[in-house]
Structure 1
Amino acid sequence: MANIVDVPVAQEKMTTLKSLDSLRDLQKSPLLFFSNLTQRYGDIVQIRIFFWPVIIINHPDYIKQVLQGNYRNYNKDVPIFNLFKPLLGNGLVTTYGGESWLQQRRLMQPAFHRQRLSDLGHQTTSSIETMFQHWERYALKHEPLDVAEEMMHLTLNIVSQALFSIDIHERANLFGEAFLEINAFLLEYFNRPFPPLNFPTPRNRRFHRALKTLNTVVYDIMKQHQQAPERHQDLLSMLIEARDEETGEGMSNQQLRDEVMTLLVAGHETAANGLAWSWYLLAEHPEVEQKLHEELDRVLAGRIPTIEDLPNLPYTRMVFEETMRLYPPVWIIMRKALDEDELGEHKIPKQTYVLWSTYAMHRHPEFWERPEQFYPEHFLPEQVAKRPRHAYIPFSHGPRICIGNNFAMVESQLILAMVAQRYRLKLVPDQKIEPQPLMTLRPKYGIQVYIEPR
């Protein structure tokens, strides 16, 4: 990111960031920057990044107004989402809003209805069994593996089968490496957005090679469906068959590509990172791991979990919810005010960007009993009831809440239950584990663990 400078204060009670030295802090550690910013200056701070006027908020009431109360006034025509357009195009996540987004959402929603989640359960447990076959060698030889990478492969395989009826297992490494290359490139490009992507620099050429790899996978999925549409009853088939009510036209290949890429990337990346951080936190907190094991042993008694078991596994759910509080996969959200608005007593000028860090909001001491600790009891029903709804937003909220939030929760709880039922994951000593805020909040160096049968 470039310069941060003074901007006119909207009114007296809003603080304006004045320290130019903050640039280094922002580039060095965005997570710490946003946390320190709100702790020092309060829940609403005004800055300028490049030529962009930005208001940073960190209060549930302000977030509720942007995501729900006056959501039509705030769209996604912002640098953070525009940065992803070379990868995601105009898919559901990056499209700005209005009728185009609403039409896309309506087309996809049936694939995520609760009655379709039972198929997800079978696909999840089957994919985990395949992963266990791979893990047996590591357990027998007491060799370490990177559980963050394992979760990426697992969730990529699950989402590709559940939404597109494709087994991507053999291409998981290829897809994962290309996506990691793009992920790192986009963060670097956001900090140094020059030269343009069409200049043939070594950095840009690496990006285009990685994007070509991902496109090859996506277009292959589309080709298989288009050649034999009668064989598939999944989301992609629904999108291929969908027709505009007025024109009768279907989606173009480009639009289909954008939607498939969005669902593949968003559908596996967020859940995988949440699960990776879960294994790290459980290994660091044996007392929580013990409670989890007791619940799994009592409820499941050794059998494979199903979706029907999830209501009887509340602590399993609480463990994953608490993980997403401390390490929310989507760690930053941004919107643009189309017209003037008010957040509390503060005027928001037209064309102003509004930004908040989910990571900072989830650690706000006013709303969390133990903000920096791994404490699943934060999600006991009585604790949830007394907390503002928008103090916890791992999937965003309002009309543009993540379409796959139920999908992700079911998948992640089943994975937690089935893996913890069979194995303990022990951290390899003396490794550096650090969150890296890219497109999502991932472990920068992975998480090396030993697999120990229970």
Structure 2
Amino acid sequence: MPVAEGAVSDLFGRPLFLALYDWFLEHGSVYKLAFGPKAFVVVSDPIVVRHILRENAFSYDKGVLADILEPIMGKGLIPADLNTWKQRRRVIAPGFHALYLESMVKIFTNCSGRTILKFEELLEREGLNGGKEIELDLEEEFSSLALDIIGLSVFNYDFGSVTKESPIIKAVYGTLFEAEHRSTFYIPYWNIPLARWLVPRQRKFQKDLRVINDCLDGLIRNAKETRQETDVEKLQQRDYSNLKDASLLRFLVDMRGADVDDRQLRDDLMTMLIAGHETTAAVLTWAVFLLAQNPSKMKKAQAEIDLVLGQGRPSFESLKKLEFIRLIIVEALRLFPQPPLLIRRTLKSDLLPGGYNGNKDGYAIPAGTDIFLSVYNLHRSPYFWDKPHEFEPERFLAQKNSEGIEGWAGFDPSRSPGALYPNEIISDFSFLPFGGGPRKCVGDQFALMESTVALAMLLQNFDVELRGSPESVELVTGATIHTKNGLWCKLKKRSDVH
């Protein structure tokens, strides 16, 4: 296996995933990265990734990631060991069924509506002072919006963070920052005895966790007191449009035969809160960043919105017609995947395929090997994508042959009939914004639909420009790719609405 000797100094001042991309172009699709005594195998090839995530999925666990996230998410779906994961996935996956997603579109539009109203009020105030536009950090606004959506749809709790700040919101953000900090910090100093009491950052983290846990415990208690135990099929056929509480928590508590252990429920909810918040905010941030540099694509998007929605709000049915908006979201996820890396550790020795241009005999790896699956490299691989660094949402409509790449089936939208959004099946693992195989993210459709609604409603009402140059928007990475100082934009009320 080729070895990239990574000087740790290479990483200062730039995100890890960018360095991994340079080394991928130099050393190939599978290489070993050594930092002093620590070594990682970096994989940037769909054939090898498919082997790890799908064909041999149960020979791997989450490794380093599970160690880092366990204090925050406990045994939630992301860090869970294999046995816990199998039990919880069976219970949680049915929760994201079609009728639930359909009813969630109402929550997506209501929350997005609050954000739009806030912008309109700010513009009005600016207008009274003679101004025609406002300047906003859209990354921060998307972050509040995503938090409100997760609160209402997952545990029927209104954070109201678009319009106010509360102790629970501060605690959520504190916990998110700590999760980020841990995912990028080399030494898990927080495991050292007494660190949680002596290090101010860790003391604050313990306090934040207590605030969130108290809130979640109250919501769980409340849901259990009003429990209506029902079979899973009946739960999936409930009339969600008339339910006062259509949250996922309600579904999990009411499910017959599900072991509703409070601790496990709390871990599940915490995982969804963290995983479902930061990622959506990031997708919307980069979608706007890309559109602002491509005014013709923004106009095309607005023309589609005017045609499909007019002045109305998006519905589940109209989402199906907003094809270009959906593709913008997907292309933003290709160029800026959230997260840019997936982490795995081998539970037993394995033989990885060589992948494209790799060793024909493959690569033997021992048990305990830590692996970075570079989603960023996969999504921008010059071997699997035409013009990989360019923003072209339309690319997902065209079939792409495997072009002689042995073991890769090419890109074919007809492989996943009825899919609203392109996925890893269509692309044979060259595109996997939500992972793939059995441990793929259960909330993928939820996140995609939520992002589509929010973007459509923003563009329906406003023209958006970047405040500075695209180069002034610096990338930083933790669990997701975000900006260093926010995405500052100028918003004007649209003048060309038909």
TM-score, normalised relative to structure 2: 0.81
**Could you tell me how far 1:453 is from its partner in structure 2?**
1.2
Within 5 Å, give how 1:11-50 maps onto structure 2.
Answer: 14-17=1-4, 19=5, 22-29=7-14, 30-49=16-35
1:406 pairs with 433, 445, 468, which one? 445
Aligned to 1:119: 103
Instruction: Give yes or no for contact 2:134–2:492 (8 Å, CA) kept in 1.
Output: no
Partner of 2:264: helix, strand, or coil? helix
Aligned to 1:103: 87
Return the alpha-carbon distance in structure 2 between the equivalents of residues 163 and 180 of structure 1: 17
Render the CA deviation track for 1:54-73: whole Å, top value 9, x for unaligned.
21111000000000011111
Instruction: Give yes or no for contact 2:75–2:84 (8 Å, CA) kept in 1.
Output: no
Instruction: Give yes or no for contact 2:100–2:246 (8 Å, CA) kept in 1.
Output: no
1:234 pairs with 234, 243, 247, which one? 247
Moved more, 376-385 or 270-279: 376-385
Within 5 Å, give how 1:69-148 maps onto structure 2.
Answer: 69-76=55-62, 78-97=63-82, 99-140=83-124, 141=126, 142-148=133-139
2:206 is the alignment partner of 1:208: yes
**Could you tell me how far 1:328 is from its partner in structure 2?**
0.8
**Could you tell me how far 1:243 is from its partner in structure 2?**
6.5
**Could you tell me how far 1:304 is from its partner in structure 2?**
1.5
Within 5 Å, give how 1:418-429 maps onto structure 2.
Answer: 418-429=457-468
Q: 1:51 to 1:213 in 2, by over 3 A?
A: farther
Instruction: Give yes or no for contact 1:243–1:251 (8 Å, CA) kept in 2.
Output: no
Name the amino acid aligned to 2:363.
H
Partner of 1:342: helix, strand, or coil? strand
Percent identity, aligned pairs only, is 28
Aligned to 1:6: none
Partner of 1:390: helix, strand, or coil? coil
Aligned to 1:178: 174
Structure 2 residue runs of 5 or longer lacking an equivalent are 127-132, 229-243, 354-361, 401-410, 414-425
**Could you tell me how far 1:176 is from its partner in structure 2?**
5.0
Return the alpha-carbon distance in structure 2 between the equivalents of residues 298 and 423 of structure 1: 16
Instruction: Give yes or no for contact 2:64–2:344 (8 Å, CA) kept in 1.
Output: no
Instruction: Give yes or no for contact 1:182–1:210 (8 Å, CA) kept in 2.
Output: no
Name the amino acid aligned to 2:8.
L
Within 5 Å, give how 1:386-397 maps onto structure 2.
Answer: 388-397=427-436
2:152 is the alignment partner of 1:161: yes
Return the alpha-carbon distance in structure 1 between the equivalents of residues 219 and 489 of structure 2: 33
Name the amino acid aligned to 1:395.
F
**Could you tell me how far 1:201 is from its partner in structure 2?**
1.7
2:191 is the alignment partner of 1:196: yes
Return the alpha-carbon distance in structure 2 between the equivalents of residues 217 and 281 of structure 1: 37
Partner of 2:191: helix, strand, or coil? coil
Instruction: Give yes or no for contact 2:51–2:57 (8 Å, CA) kept in 1.
Output: yes
Return the alpha-carbon distance in structure 1 between the equivalents of residues 42 and 117 of structure 2: 47
**Could you tell me how far 1:203 is from its partner in structure 2?**
2.9
1:373 pairs with 362, 380, 390, which one? 390
Aligned to 1:304: 313
Partner of 1:169: helix, strand, or coil? coil
**Could you tell me how far 1:33 is from its partner in structure 2?**
1.1
Q: 1:306 to 1:187 in 2, by over 3 A?
A: same
Partner of 1:143: helix, strand, or coil? strand
Q: 1:229 to 1:135 in 2, by over 3 A?
A: farther
Aligned to 1:5: none
Instruction: Give yes or no for contact 1:138–1:451 (8 Å, CA) kept in 2.
Output: no
Q: 1:244 to 1:122 in 2, by over 3 A?
A: closer
Moved more, 135-144 or 416-425: 135-144
2:219 is the alignment partner of 1:221: yes
**Could you tell me how far 1:348 is from its partner in structure 2?**
2.1
Return the alpha-carbon distance in structure 2 between the equivalents of residues 224 and 285 of structure 1: 48
Within 5 Å, give how 1:209-288 maps onto structure 2.
Answer: 209-229=207-227, 232-242=245-255, 250-288=259-297
Partner of 2:399: helix, strand, or coil? helix
2:458 is the alignment partner of 1:434: no
How many residues are treated as equivalent by the alignment? 432
Return the alpha-carbon distance in structure 1 between the equivalents of residues 280 and 262 of structure 2: 27
**Could you tell me how far 1:229 is from its partner in structure 2?**
4.0
Aligned to 1:353: 370
Return the alpha-carbon distance in structure 2 between the equivalents of residues 400 and 304 of structure 1: 34
Name the amino acid aligned to 2:457.
M
Structure 1 residue runs of 5 or longer lacking an equivalent are 1-13
Moved more, 232-241 or 338-347: 232-241
Return the alpha-carbon distance in structure 2 between the equivalents of residues 28 and 338 of structure 1: 34
Instruction: Give yes or no for contact 1:152–1:176 (8 Å, CA) kept in 2.
Output: no
Name the amino acid aligned to 1:75.
D
Moved more, 293-302 or 316-325: 293-302
Name the amino acid aligned to 1:194.
Y
RMSD: 2.3
Moved more, 232-241 or 370-379: 232-241
Aligned to 1:68: 54
Name the amino acid aligned to 1:443.
T
Return the alpha-carbon distance in structure 1 between the equivalents of residues 215 and 39 of structure 2: 39
Q: 1:244 to 1:48 in 2, by over 3 A?
A: farther
**Could you tell me how far 1:101 is from its partner in structure 2?**
0.8
Moved more, 427-436 or 415-424: 427-436
**Could you tell me how far 1:49 is from its partner in structure 2?**
4.6
**Could you tell me how far 1:252 is from its partner in structure 2?**
2.9
Return the alpha-carbon distance in structure 2 between the equivalents of residues 435 and 390 of structure 1: 25
